[in-house]
């Protein structure tokens, strides 16, 4: 507890007052959420604390993050301003406050987890589906997590929506230009696909969204138990983040009644070939579909 708050308490005792401060949702590269087990209550919560005189709320967030976790925020994303009766809190010693909380997201940070003060018992990253029991403010805040778009999200979307189609076309052209360099030809059909072609392809589209931004796309058709994957593209800015692998895994988990998965890629597209092989896809055949375009065709039987 800071000197400022102690001074106020010496004047008003345990009676409630409005306390301004910041809290942080910290996400690591695996999409896990950082929680702090507080020493005063034993409960799990989010890093954060009260504003000190002369600070702004962003400075409070950065200071509290470092003091409580040892991490340095390279960039903060303002998420929400939380206040009202539901954010009332009574400490074990009887002190009462009404919180006014500036909530920030942190996905770009550096440092190692270190407990620097006596406010924490433990610091630990958790996957969303493995969060410990939460109470009060942390429970209410993390219940709103989907609307903040901090965690990666995979979902089906409509290619008939003109903005969706435009975003896919941008990613597709950037990704296939790089594949064209790998295989030595720019005669790849997706590079010539128009917006109208894309919208009329009749495929189901799955998107991987990073902080609300479309970062990867998978499209497929399903017929009589067979899933035929037509495109799997990742925006170059998001290469080497495992997005293609996650999209393929998501597809398999969603299409549980599928018996066979098929996919094709350029024979000289070594990263794609290695990816499919690592996921259990088996090379069935090769083909030539145009000048300089040699494809390899993979299949994968449904998992037992």
Element at 156 (helix H, strand E) = strand 153-157
* Structure confidence at residue 221 (pLDDT): 97
Does position 159 have pLDDT exceeding 80, yes or no?
yes
The rounded distance, in Å, linking the Cα atoms of 151 and 146 is 8
Element at 131 (helix H, strand E) = none
pLDDT in tens, 234-266: 999 898 888 999 999 999 999 999 999 999 998
Closest CA to 190 of 206, 174, 203: 174
Contact criterion met (CB below 8 Å) for 183 and 266: yes
* Structure confidence at residue 292 (pLDDT): 67
Please give the residue that has the higher pLDDT: either 302 or 59: 59
Least confident range of 33-37, 179-183, 242-246: 179-183
With b for 16 or more beta-carbon neighbours within 10 A and e for fewer, the 45-81 pattern comes to bbbbbbbeeebebeebbbbbbbebbebebeebbebbe
Segment 152-157 shows an average pLDDT of 93
pLDDT bin (cut points 50, 70, 90) of residue 64 is very high
Contact criterion met (CB below 8 Å) for 252 and 261: yes
**DSSP calls for 56-82:** -HHHHHHHHHHHHHS-EEEEEEEEEEE
Does position 109 have pLDDT exceeding 80, yes or no?
yes
* Structure confidence at residue 3 (pLDDT): 82
The rounded distance, in Å, linking the Cα atoms of 17 and 153 is 39
The rounded distance, in Å, linking the Cα atoms of 164 and 207 is 10
- How far is C-alpha 157 from the chain's CA centre? 17
- Where does residue 41 fall: left (phi above 0), alpha (psi -120 to 50 degrees), or beta otherwise? alpha
């Amino acid at each position: 507890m800071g000197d400022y708050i102690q001074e106020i308490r010496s004047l008003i005792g345990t009676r409630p007052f409005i306390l301004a401060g910041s809290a942080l949702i910290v996400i690591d590269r695996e999409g896990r959420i950082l929680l702090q087990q507080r020493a005063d209550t034993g409960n799990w919560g989010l890093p954060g604390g009260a504003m000190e005189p002369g600070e702004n709320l962003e400075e409070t967030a950065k200071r509290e993050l470092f003091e409580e976790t040892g991490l340095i925020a390279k960039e903060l994303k303002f998420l929400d301003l939380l206040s009202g009766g539901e954010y009332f809190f009574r400490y074990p010693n009887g002190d009462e406050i009404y919180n006014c909380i500036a909530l920030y997201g942190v996905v770009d940070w550096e440092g190692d987890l270190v407990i620097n003060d006596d406010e924490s018992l433990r610091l630990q990253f958790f996957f969303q589906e493995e969060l410990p029991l939460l109470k009060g403010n942390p429970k209410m805040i993390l219940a709103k997590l989907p609307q903040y778009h901090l965690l990666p999200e995979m979902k089906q979307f409509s290619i008939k929506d003109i903005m969706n189609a435009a975003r896919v076309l941008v990613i597709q052209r950037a990704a296939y230009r790089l594949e064209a360099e790998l295989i030595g030809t720019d005669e790849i059909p997706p590079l010539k696909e128009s917006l109208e072609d894309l919208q009329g392809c009749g495929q189901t589209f799955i998107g991987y969204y990073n902080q609300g931004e479309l970062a990867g796309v998978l499209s497929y058709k399903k017929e009589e138990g067979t899933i035929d994957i037509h495109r799997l593209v990742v925006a170059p800015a998001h290469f080497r983040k495992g997005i293609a692998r996650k999209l393929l895994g998501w597809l398999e988990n969603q299409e549980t009644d599928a018996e066979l998965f098929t996919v094709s890629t350029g024979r000289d597209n070594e990263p794609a070939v290695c990816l499919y092989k690592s996921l259990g896809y088996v090379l069935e055949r090769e083909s030539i579909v145009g000048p300089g375009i040699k494809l390899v065709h993979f299949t994968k039987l449904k998992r037992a």
